[in-house]
Amino acid sequence: MSTLMESDIKRWTAKRKTALVMDIIQGKTTVSGASRAFDLNPSEVEQWVDEGKRGMENALRTKPLEVKEQYEKQLRVNVGSKLTHFPTLASE
């Protein structure tokens, strides 16, 4: 594992998550191996990896507007799905 990783991590900061995700992407460990080593839920670690990959993709976009549009689209999808549970808000 990365040198930033301690055996008894109590709080997963963005820096620690990034180090773990980079170790997974670079093939130094696997999601299941990291989950066991740090007593984490594998689906949570998978989510961190997915978010990291999305962040890298957005960072490599050529136009900042594309990033803005991507976040707005994702926000509409996420918020829209929650509004369906509140018919009075969805109809406004």
Confidence of residue 57 (pLDDT cuts 50, 70, 90): confident
Q: Which of 16-25, 36-45, 78-87 has the lowest mean pLDDT?
A: 78-87
Residue 3 banded pLDDT, cuts 50, 70, 90 = very low
Half-sphere CA count of 10, side-chain side, radius 13 A: 0
Higher-pLDDT residue of 71 and 32 is 32
Structural domain spans, the chain? 1-60, 63-92
pLDDT classification of 37: cutoffs 50, 70, 90: very high
pLDDT tens digits for 11-30? 899 999 999 999 999 999 99
